[in-house]
Amino acid sequence: MSTSVSETFAFEPTQGAPFNARHQVADTLRSWGCTQHVDEVVLAVDELVTNVLLHAAAPIRLTLYASGEDKVWVEVHDDGTGMITTRPDDLEALSGRGLHIVEQISSSWGVVEERQGKSVWFEVGSPEPSPTPN
């Protein structure tokens, strides 16, 4: 794939949302020929969609964007009012590792507060090469 492609999906906040998001993202990336980071992207998507279910219980909008075969950007949006924060590492905790996983998998990530809700985004893959001066 030499061009940029994107697609947006909507999921209801049900127990099946993480499963549906994982499969939709994996199938879409493979159909685009963007297979290098499928496992990492699917894991991070699962964590973010699960966070929405646990903390916001709001409809989920997921945007998937790929540039070339190596660069993937994902945004997970919900209309929930709570802000996202990372928890301190606690090896005995049963939950709270989702954003740490996203941070480890991605080359960059962040949270954007919006008029209604918030979006968590992440990027995997190599950045676009910088143009060389003449």
Instruction: Write the CA distances from 133 to 126, 127, 128, 129, integer angstroms.
Output: 20, 18, 15, 12
- 10-residue mean pLDDT profile of the chain (134 residues): values are 87 95 97 93 95 87 90 93 62 62 91 89 73 47
Give domain limits for the chain.
4-124
Q: Calculate the CA 73 to chain-centre distance.
A: 7
Q: What is the pLDDT at residue 116?
A: 86
Model's pTM, two decimal places? 0.83
Q: What is the pLDDT at residue 88?
A: 58
Overall CATH class of domain 4-124:
alpha beta
